[in-house]
Amino acid sequence: MILGIVAIFASLLALGYAGYLSSRIMKISPGTPKMQEIADAIKEGAMAYMARQYKTIAVFAVIITILLGFLFALGWSPCLGPILGTILLLASTTGTTLSGGLLLGVYSLGLALPFLLIAFFYGSSVAYVPKLERYLPLVNRIGGVLLVVIGLLLVFGQFGMLNTWAGEILGDRLFNGMVQYM
């Protein structure tokens, strides 16, 4: 909070100082006609050079943007594609547009929520990271074991067993309600 106020105050101070400097520069004499002629020639050359640089940078930026977008999509497609496809299928087969929109809205919220939480709690969470670092190897091992178990369930065709366990853990009423909704 305090850092944000300091940043805003520093920005306003910098803008005020820039305005002061620009007003001082604008009051200076432009020079003799010969000096103005030389300055205009320098300005014309500099503008031509900068136009060429901007074209080169624009081409490079477009290529890099497409490449980064492609790589980002390549990494996320296996994760998002099947789930989004399933949700779109469910949304298109539900009875009303509202229920389909609700499914897509919940999916979007679930996708955005981790990013929003990280952004919201970033400042206060920095103090806790060193305390949590000692648990990181344990969390990595548990996550790795879970990935291997789920992979083995998929390979051996037993992934549906998780549905059975979910029904037992959540109870018949809640689990059946979720299945009936879908």
Structural domain spans, the chain:
34-127, 131-182
Return the HEC string of 80-142: HHHHHHHHHHHHHHCCCHHHHHHHHHHHHHHHHHHHHHHHHHHHHHCCCHHHHHHHHHHHHHH
Q: Structure pTM?
A: 0.36
Per residue of the chain (182 residues), give pLDDT as tens.
Answer: 677 788 888 899 999 999 999 888 888 888 888 988 999 999 999 999 988 888 888 888 888 888 887 777 776 766 677 778 888 887 888 777 888 888 888 888 888 888 788 788 877 777 777 787 888 889 889 988 988 988 888 888 887 787 777 777 776 666 566 666 55
Residue 41 has what pLDDT? 93
Residue 176 has what pLDDT? 66
Whole-angstrom Cα distance, residue 46 to residue 64? 26
Cα–Cα distances (Å) from 71 to 61, 77, 82, 112, in that order, read 15, 10, 18, 20
% of the chain exceeding 90 in pLDDT: 15
Whole-angstrom Cα distance, residue 182 to residue 178? 7
